[in-house]
Structure formats: structure tokens, C-alpha cells
């Protein structure tokens, strides 16, 4: 159980005000954490895709045309 920051009384899970002093209780905003987690997952996924593209591009450089020798 949580406690009131003003008077220290025990607060129930669904309470919106303190039962002892009547102060309005603020709950943590879980939506902002959800959005932050989604952004981090998308960022990680994007970095992984870019890393895979970079690594696969390095191995395909062997198909580049070979310069011809000049006769001097």
C-alpha cells in the first residue's frame, strides 16, 4: 500500500484522495512509460536493420568491376 505524502496515512489502491487529510493524490502516468518503451523498441529495431544492411553491403563489394590493365 502507498502512503500519503502530506500526512503519511495508508492509501488504498483506488483512492483518489487521502482518507485522512483529503489531499488530492497524483498517480504515476504509465502511458508516458509505454510510449517511451515503444520508441526504444523501434529505435533498436531500426538500428538492427541498418547494421544488417551495412554488413551485407560490405560482403557484396567483391562484385565491383575490376580495373583493366593498361598496356604501356
Residue 45 has pLDDT above 90, yes or no: yes
Mean pLDDT of 24-40: 84
What do you get for the CA distance between the two ends of the chain, in Å?
89
Q: What is the per-residue pLDDT for 66?
A: 67
Cα(26)–Cα(16) distance, integer angstroms = 8
Q: What is the per-residue pLDDT for 68?
A: 75
pTM, rounded to two decimals: 0.43
Q: What is the per-residue pLDDT for 36?
A: 92
- Residue 68, all three cell numbers: 583493366
- For 24-41, b/e burial (b = at least 16 CB within 10 A) is eeeeeeeeeeeeeeeeee
The pLDDT tens digits for 3-20 are 888 898 888 888 889 989
Amino acid at each position: 500500500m502507498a502512503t500519503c505524502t502530506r500526512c503519511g496515512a495508508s492509501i488504498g489502491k483506488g483512492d483518489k484522495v487521502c482518507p485522512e487529510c483529503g489531499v488530492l493524490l497524483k498517480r504515476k502516468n504509465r502511458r508516458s512509460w509505454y510510449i517511451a518503451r515503444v520508441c526504444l523498441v523501434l529505435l533498436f529495431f531500426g538500428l538492427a536493420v541498418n547494421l544488417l544492411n551495412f554488413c551485407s553491403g560490405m560482403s557484396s563489394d567483391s562484385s565491383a568491376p575490376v580495373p583493366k590493365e593498361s598496356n604501356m
